[in-house]
Structure 1
Amino acid sequence: MSQEIILGLITFFTSTIAGVVGIGGGMILIAVLPSFLPLNALIPVHGISQMTSNLSRAAFGYKDVKFEVIPKFLIGSIVGISFFASILYIISLEYVPLFIGTYILLSLWSKKFNDKLRKYENYYLLGFFQTGLSIVVGATGPLTMTLLLKDYEDKDIVVATAAALMSITHILKVFAFMIFGFVFFDYIGILLAMIIGAIIGSWTGTKLRNVINGKKFIMIIKVLLSLLAIKVMISAFI
């Protein structure tokens, strides 16, 4: 029972962070879970908690969700999860985190890179990679956040829309692991505690977000994204 309580509190904390700044909670959680769960359960259990966290965050901020980007992202996600699930056992993806981190840093801070990237960067492509790669690296939310930051300046739009898109990623990932045969019921106690923590954290983060200055908020997201990108890149060598 103590493990369930601890994981519930950790999920509340990470979900609150994500509710305030839009990202970071999932990556913090995936870094903590190895201390509590066997390796084969890490990404499936993480997927359920993040599905709940993002769905609740999108629901609390549904008025700010830009629904026009969802069909594009969904199409890319379906193709991506199908592709990566089919080749999961035949290719090495150990350097994927390095490419993800490099893309995030260049996208955030390099004008020249963005000028070239703008010709190709879209929600179809990012849905493909964010959702497809999520079954391997767990937390890929920063990928679409970089595009949302370019398209929208309102912090509530960025966070709510990112939550809606990440909900798609985690829902499809959970279905993929169900097809793989993972038995979620074996972890029902832990999952219930994390689901409760995720929902309460999303509500708390949504309330706290309203007291943060918009321009400072965007800079906070960029700095946090950069730190997460560096962490992801280092993980490729450790």
Structure 2
Amino acid sequence: MFNEIMLAVLNFLTSLLTAVSGLGGGMILIGLMPMFLPALAIIPVHGATQLASNASRAWFGRNKIDWRNVYPFLLGSLLGVAVFGMAVRFIELQMIPLFIGVYILLIQWSKTVNRWLKSMQNFYLIGFLQTGLGIFVGSPGPLNMPLLIQKYDDNDTVIAMSAIQQSILHSAKVLIYVAMGFAFWEYWQVVLAMVVSAILGSWVGVRIRSYVPASFLKRMLPWLLTALAIKVIISNLITLGWVQLSWFGLG
């Protein structure tokens, strides 16, 4: 029960954060989940709960959704599922936390990666890559945000559009893991607790958005995500046996 309660609380807070600032919550959550769940369950459980978080946020902001830019993303996502969905079957699931940690660091600090992300001006391509990467690393980061910010001046529209696009990719991710035979029913308690807390976090976040300094939150996010990524990487390397606790004076 401790794990379920902690994950529900964390999901409420990260869902609230994303509802306020538009990004960051999903990556923080995926960085924390290896502390509470086995590696094989991280991505599918994260997908189910983030689907609830983003779908609820999209519903609360539905009057701001520009459907003209949703359909290209959807088509790109379907292609991403077809390509990356086959590749994930050949990945060692115990290494997924390592992929997550490295990916978070690249997103936060690699100028080359960020230039590449900003260069994408096409929702078809973004849908393809964001959905494909999501299958491996859970929360693929703000690939769609630069283009959304470029197209829309209204922050509420940016957040609503990001939410509906993220709902698409997390739906695809859940379907992939169902097809692979992941037993969601074995984790129904934690999924239920996190889904409820995600919806509640979205509801609260939308209502306090105008009162919270989102710019401050965005400045703090890279440092928090970096600390989480380093912990995830070291913990996974120890689990895989590639690093020994004695190296840190702990064993």
> Where on the TM-score scale, by shorter chain, does this alignment land: which range?
0.7 to 0.9
After the TM superposition, which of the residue ranges 48-57 and 219-228 deviates more from structure 2? 219-228
Q: Distance in 2 between the 1:151 and 1:222 partners?
A: 20
Q: Distance in 2 between the 1:145 and 1:235 partners?
A: 26
Task: Report if the CA contact (8 A) 1:105-1:229 is conserved.
Answer: no
**Structure 2 residue aligned with 1:85:** 85
- Identity across the alignment (%): 41
**Structure 2 residue aligned with 1:111:** none
**Structure 1 residue aligned with 2:115:** 106
Q: Distance in 2 between the 1:91 and 1:188 partners?
A: 25
Task: Report if the CA contact (8 A) 1:104-1:146 is conserved.
Answer: no
Q: Distance in 1 between the 2:188 and 2:90 partners?
A: 31
**Structure 2 residue aligned with 1:29:** 29
Task: Report if the CA contact (8 A) 1:100-1:229 is conserved.
Answer: no
After the TM superposition, which of the residue ranges 13-22 and 227-236 deviates more from structure 2? 227-236
- Secondary structure of 1:143's counterpart equals coil
**Structure 1 residue aligned with 2:131:** 131
The alpha carbon displacement at 1:55 in A equals 0.2
Task: Report if the CA contact (8 A) 2:31-2:229 is conserved.
Answer: no
**Structure 2 residue aligned with 1:38:** 38
Q: Which amino acid is the alignment partner of residue 85 of structure 1?
A: G
Q: Distance in 2 between the 1:11 and 1:161 partners?
A: 21
Structure 1 residue ranges without an equivalent (≥5): 109-113
Report the TM-score when normalising by structure 2: 0.79
- Secondary structure of 2:144's counterpart equals helix
Q: Distance in 1 between the 2:220 and 2:9 partners?
A: 22
The alpha carbon displacement at 1:141 in A equals 3.7
Q: Which amino acid is the alignment partner of residue 157 of structure 2?
A: I
**Structure 2 residue aligned with 1:174:** 174
**Structure 2 residue aligned with 1:202:** 202
**Structure 1 residue aligned with 2:53:** 53
Q: Which amino acid is the alignment partner of residue 163 of structure 2?
A: A
**Structure 2 residue aligned with 1:140:** 140
How many corresponding residue pairs? 225
The alpha carbon displacement at 1:38 in A equals 0.6
CA separation of 1:225/1:151 partners in 2, compared to 1, >3 Å: closer, same or farther?
farther
CA separation of 1:197/1:227 partners in 2, compared to 1, >3 Å: closer, same or farther?
same
Q: Distance in 2 between the 1:232 and 1:107 partners?
A: 24
Task: Report if the CA contact (8 A) 1:100-1:232 is conserved.
Answer: no
The alpha carbon displacement at 1:64 in A equals 1.0
Q: Which amino acid is the alignment partner of residue 12 of structure 1?
A: F
Task: Report if the CA contact (8 A) 1:81-1:131 is conserved.
Answer: yes
Q: Distance in 1 between the 2:88 and 2:199 partners?
A: 31
Task: Report if the CA contact (8 A) 2:21-2:218 is conserved.
Answer: no
Task: Report if the CA contact (8 A) 2:21-2:217 is conserved.
Answer: yes
Q: Distance in 2 between the 1:236 and 1:146 partners?
A: 27
Task: Report if the CA contact (8 A) 1:54-1:166 is conserved.
Answer: yes
Deviations 1:185-230 (A, max 9, x none): 0001111110110000000110111235xxx74x557646755886
Structure 2 residue ranges without an equivalent (≥5): 235-251
Q: Distance in 1 between the 2:197 and 2:8 partners?
A: 5
Q: Which amino acid is the alignment partner of residue 170 of structure 1?
A: H
Pairing 1:14–2:14 present: yes
The alpha carbon displacement at 1:31 in A equals 1.0
Q: Which amino acid is the alignment partner of residue 106 of structure 1?
A: R
CA separation of 1:221/1:168 partners in 2, compared to 1, >3 Å: closer, same or farther?
farther
